[in-house]
Structure 1
Amino acid sequence: VVFMTIGRMPYSVLISVVVGVTNLAPTFGPIAGGAIGAFILVLDNPWNALGFLIFTVILQTLDGYVIKPKLYGGSLGIPGIWILISIIVCGRMWGVVGILIGIPLAAIIDFIYHDYILVQLQRAKKRRAGKAESSATAPAEEEKKA
């Protein structure tokens, strides 16, 4: 609303509501909202539609590649870069479904890694350290006996 009011664009409240509602759908919602808003504006003034599209693309790019990964990463305890990578990789592998399941899949992998694999590795390391300690003390005990 603020950008459209500053740019003196018509139907700012209507377009803002449409964009807000379509943004509830992940990934493709902003695209649909931007297209609908641009269509409404192009009927009035094509230059307003172009300005709106440019602003929407910049805003959605910032939101998708900077804000959301930090936000999701913070709430899930996963670095934002892994969120971004999971969305891109899963999207390339499975399309729209991959984009939708990328973040939950990254959270599951992170959980398995931190709560199972790392725990097993730490236990194995402790066992190796215990065996090394017992084998190091065995020759010392034999020397005491002799």
Structure 2
Amino acid sequence: MNESTRRHPATVTAAPEVHQPTPIVVRPAAPVPVQPHTVPSVASVVLPDGRIVTGYAVDPVQPEPVTAKPVVSRAAVNIALGGVGFLAVCGGLLLLTTFITALTALITQLITLAAVLFGGFIAVQALTAGSRGGGRTTVNIRKAVIKRNHVHS
């Protein structure tokens, strides 16, 4: 290293920091007409280090006005809507029970009809079996005398 490029630690001075403000350019899409009484005032503030900051004064934020309460509370509305829903469900349940009752009656009638048809079929088979030529069975019944738990025939 050269002597000219080498610096002695005691002779090194800190470089001053320079802050250059960057202007912000705002170009509105269309010019907005401003009424004379709405032009904000410009305020200047001197900082402790001597700098002066200039800008528009900011108005304090106004709280939202309190809205009037509705005449009917939300709880009452919710209870009323719940009642309407309950009535709708009860009507549906009534229709469901009516449908189940009608279905049960239909199934009962079908079972009864099947029993009558099956019984009629069996009766027809039994009665027509006797009219056929073959298959007759003769049963002889004798007079039995019962004396003291003993059968004499």
Query: What range describes the TM-score normalised by the shorter chain of this pair?
Result: 0.3 to 0.5
By percentage of residues, which structure has more helix?
1
Structure showing the higher strand proportion among its residues: 2
**Greater relative contact order (Cα < 8 A, sep 6+):** 1
Query: TM-score, normalised on structure 1?
Result: 0.34
TM-score (norm 2): 0.32
